Amino acid sequence: MLHPAAKPALFVACALPLAALLHGAATDTLGANPAEALIRSLGDWTLRLLCATLAVTPLRQWTGWAALARFRRVLGLYAFGYGVLHLLAYAWFDMGFDVGEIARDLGKRPFILVGFAALALMLPLAATSFNRAIRALGAARWQALHRSVHAVALLGLLHFWWMRSGKNDHAEVMVYAAVIAVLLGWRVLHRLRTRQRLQRA
């Protein structure tokens, strides 16, 4: 059983990075280019929270602590929220909410198009993250839909790698790539082992 304070504590913990960024913006302590720092930091936290969301199932399987599954929804919704803020910060600070400029930027910088695609895939996941949606869709269809989080993570990683390629700085990208490879690789191995057990049964 989870402690009653566990989910509220996770909720607050996920909000702390945003609070720190807003405080930094208000006090002008985000560095020489605060707009870029804000955009990049929001993107970083989106990817971190995606990784945390993907980590819930392996941790639940390894530890046998089924209650960990209750953290997944909070982490996934926060990942989506940070992704939306990342997009809004880009649209505001870089593009001045000029739709034409944004459309032209998509053509010039494909990594932004990849980021848009990742966020678009996250939208139905966020919209169906509630118990009523599970009942409406049915468990099998709901699970199939939510497996697209794997594609979201890969698109997010590609977005990050492509953005960093301009500066030839891939050190941090490789850390995320390793984490995502482990989390997705575990799922593949788990599915193969489950299939083998069913075939032997």
The string of DSSP letters for 41-108 reads HHHHHHHHHHHHHHHHHHHHHHH--GGGHHHHHHHHHHHHHHHHHHHHHIIIIITTT-HHHHHHHHHH
In the predicted model, residues of the chain with pLDDT beneath 70 are: 1, 201
The predicted structure's pLDDT at residue 52: 97
The predicted structure's pLDDT at residue 4: 80
The predicted structure's pLDDT at residue 122: 97
The predicted structure's pLDDT at residue 1: 64
Select from 94, 100, 86, 102 the least CA-distant residue to 159.
86
The predicted structure's pLDDT at residue 198: 77
Residue range 140-171, pLDDT digits in tens: 999 999 999 999 999 999 999 999 887 777 89
Q: pTM higher than 0.75, yes or no?
A: yes
Select from 22, 16, 23 the least CA-distant residue to 48.
16
The predicted structure's pLDDT at residue 201: 65
